[in-house]
Structure 1
Amino acid sequence: MELNEIDLNLLVVFQQLLIDRRVSKVATSLGLSQPGVSNALARLRKLTDDPLFLRTPKGMEPTPFAEQLAEPTARALQVIHAAINQRSTFDPATSKRAFTVGMTDIGEIYFLPKLMKELARIAPGVSLSTVRNTSVNLQDEMEAGHVNLAMGLLPQLKGGYFQRRLFKQRYVCMFRIDHPLDKGKISLTDFSAAEHVVVISEGTGHGQADELLRRQKVARKVVLTVPHYVAVGHILHDSDLVATVPERLARALVTPFGLSYVNHPAKLPEITINLFWHERYNKDPANVWLRALVTQLHGEGAGKQ
């Protein structure tokens, strides 16, 4: 097979099929008709003399040959895309770009107020949407460009992703002002004697704190378990419950909910909150700009928050 026999658009369809695994979804992603996608696949099958994708109940599954082609095809398309767009620029003052960022409810509480205020000032036409890091297949969505950045404690994002550390933080014990534990420092005995609300934040890495407490055999009376952090401020304000939370979330909740917090009596390691992006968009001007803005506002030492 010679290069002059290959239509570049066929490789674009091939790569999108590897991501979406359904003809209808590929058609939507690329702005094509379903017959157009099917026709492109038929031409590719003829050129390669391989079925490439087989229909299964889970979608279009790639053949071994298709999997062999996946990495070099993606790399080649990335090089071509970068070469064609190397002179492109991004002007935040005039852009109407809509970004999508993956984050947890903690991220929405901590990152968004300052970020949205700054966007209104320097990029009034730019809009932002958030998705829960656990509600989508974050790896596939970022690779496809549907999610531009992700923030948080995300151990599942490894190969193929760049990351930049925003800050490190510790876990603290939080409760209402004038709580019996609101005395500057508490012991493990104090901690164990209290009643606790525990947040099960699956897929974020924050579950490690609960696991470490179990490993250290730190006793606590758990009377409430919730799946996210967004209600913690309300719960603590109107009860005597205690929560183990990341310190920057605690800082954000102190004033609005009349809360207080102290150093955690258990030996819990600091956690690193990172900014993630897919390698395909490492040099994309808009992505570069948004990463720089987030780092400026929330990176280590930003405003000494």
Structure 2
Amino acid sequence: MDIRSVDLNLLVLFDTLMQTRSVNRAAEAMGLSQSATSGALARLRGVFDDALFVRTAAQMEPTPRAQQLAPVVRRVVQTIQQEILQSPHFEPAQAQRSFTVLTPDIGEVAFLPGVLRRLQHEAPGVRLHAVSRARAAAADALEKGEADLAIGFFPDLQKAGYFQQSLFTTTYECITSAANTALGERLTLKQYLAVRHVVVRPDGREHLLERFLDAKGWQRQVTLELSHFMSLLALLPGTELVATVPQDIATAVGRHIPLRTLALPFKPPPLQVQQFWHRRMQNDPANRWLRGLFHEVNRREAGARLPV
């Protein structure tokens, strides 16, 4: 017998006849006419080359072949109903699984603490794996399912095939050691370009501010380039270095070392922080829950800063 020739609806009819032992009651249970049910029973008999159900004075009785098939068909029908046709769902309180989130080191400091507190109470079996990837690799990781979300500034993901959701908009400011007395309370553009800068390029890539400065033709005096924002904790104290960073960086670094914060002598471009996911995961219940949690915990109103 070729499985392609078997109509699964016939198995449902078989299972219903085993329970009702009546063509009329089977037709009513399946929402079919009696003639359609009789026709389906004829096809079912042809598939198995057996009468399967024989009319007696009281009801339709199964043949030995039907009795042999009954438990197997019951399992098949129940599997289809309970495991294949059921709408997918995700129960965070019972879940035992891991999610991978792409985010730079500052994202680990800014976005994860609030989420972890929620997981402790709402989904204790859920584990997070935070990793950093270059922009080109981020798209590939989401597409292949190696990562569930990307959170931060990922302009390369603003394209077809990826969904995005805004978390907040922030801007840039200057930070330097609190012991740096070489600068006044305000910076002029000339001073800004002349001071010694430390620049952070996660994964060696340029960022929005650098493109803005290049477009203006403004060249800074870059003394040090770093790959990780949190390295500023060790490198700013005791120096006159200045770093131009997103406000969240300034807040996070200021939690650990004394800082001076200076406004920029120009209006910097706004920095849109978003979360991204591949279109394959749009209707996945687990991914929908995860991105909903990150959005709820990390969404901010315009102008709001990361809590100190």
- Asked if the contact 1:166/1:300 (under 8 Å) is kept, the reply is yes
- Asked if the contact 2:180/2:239 (under 8 Å) is kept, the reply is no
Say if 2:210 is the partner of 1:198: no
Taking the aligned partners of 1:266 and 1:226, their CA distance within structure 2 comes to: 24
- Asked if the contact 2:179/2:237 (under 8 Å) is kept, the reply is no
Q: Aligned in 2, Cα 1:189/1:96: closer, same or farther, shift over 3 Å?
A: same
Counterpart of 2:36 in structure 1 is: none
Counterpart of 1:299 in structure 2 is: 299
Shift of 1:287: 0.7
Counterpart of 2:111 in structure 1 is: 111
TM-score (norm 2): 0.66
- Asked if the contact 1:176/1:240 (under 8 Å) is kept, the reply is yes
- Asked if the contact 2:196/2:242 (under 8 Å) is kept, the reply is yes
Q: Which runs of 5+ in 1 are unaligned?
A: 6-82
Taking the aligned partners of 2:87 and 2:240, their CA distance within structure 1 comes to: 59
TM-score (norm 1): 0.66
Shift of 1:189: 2.4
Say if 2:282 is the partner of 1:272: no
- Asked if the contact 2:136/2:156 (under 8 Å) is kept, the reply is no
Shift of 1:270: 0.5
Secondary structure of 2:267's counterpart equals coil
Amino acid at match of 1:277: W
Taking the aligned partners of 1:240 and 1:304, their CA distance within structure 2 comes to: 26
Taking the aligned partners of 1:121 and 1:304, their CA distance within structure 2 comes to: 25
Structure 1 range deviating more: 192-201 or 247-256: 192-201
Taking the aligned partners of 1:214 and 1:136, their CA distance within structure 2 comes to: 22
Taking the aligned partners of 2:267 and 2:285, their CA distance within structure 1 comes to: 42
Cα deviations by residue, 1:247-274 (Å, 9 ceiling, x for unpaired): 1111111121222322222332101111
Cα deviations by residue, 1:213-271 (Å, 9 ceiling, x for unpaired): 23323343211112232302221123210001111111111121222322222332101
- Asked if the contact 2:248/2:305 (under 8 Å) is kept, the reply is no
Taking the aligned partners of 2:263 and 2:121, their CA distance within structure 1 comes to: 36
Taking the aligned partners of 1:113 and 1:241, their CA distance within structure 2 comes to: 29
Counterpart of 2:59 in structure 1 is: none
Amino acid at match of 1:115: V
Q: Aligned in 2, Cα 1:160/1:140: closer, same or farther, shift over 3 Å?
A: same
Say if 2:123 is the partner of 1:123: yes
Secondary structure of 1:121's counterpart equals helix
Amino acid at match of 1:125: G
Counterpart of 1:186 in structure 2 is: 187
Taking the aligned partners of 2:148 and 2:200, their CA distance within structure 1 comes to: 27
Amino acid at match of 2:217: K
Counterpart of 1:251 in structure 2 is: 251
Which residues of 2 match residues 18-29 of structure 1 at below 5 A? none
- Asked if the contact 1:154/1:203 (under 8 Å) is kept, the reply is no
Q: Aligned in 2, Cα 1:182/1:94: closer, same or farther, shift over 3 Å?
A: farther
- Asked if the contact 1:182/1:260 (under 8 Å) is kept, the reply is no
- Asked if the contact 1:181/1:190 (under 8 Å) is kept, the reply is no
Q: Aligned in 2, Cα 1:298/1:184: closer, same or farther, shift over 3 Å?
A: farther
Secondary structure of 1:213's counterpart equals helix
The alignment's C-alpha RMSD in Å is: 2.7
Amino acid at match of 2:194: A
Secondary structure of 1:100's counterpart equals strand
Say if 2:211 is the partner of 1:211: yes
Counterpart of 2:170 in structure 1 is: 169
Taking the aligned partners of 2:182 and 2:124, their CA distance within structure 1 comes to: 45
Secondary structure of 2:208's counterpart equals helix
Amino acid at match of 1:200: R
Secondary structure of 2:165's counterpart equals strand
Q: Which runs of 5+ in 2 are unaligned?
A: 6-82
Counterpart of 1:99 in structure 2 is: 99
Amino acid at match of 2:118: E
Counterpart of 2:147 in structure 1 is: 147
Shift of 1:137: 2.6
Give % identity: 35
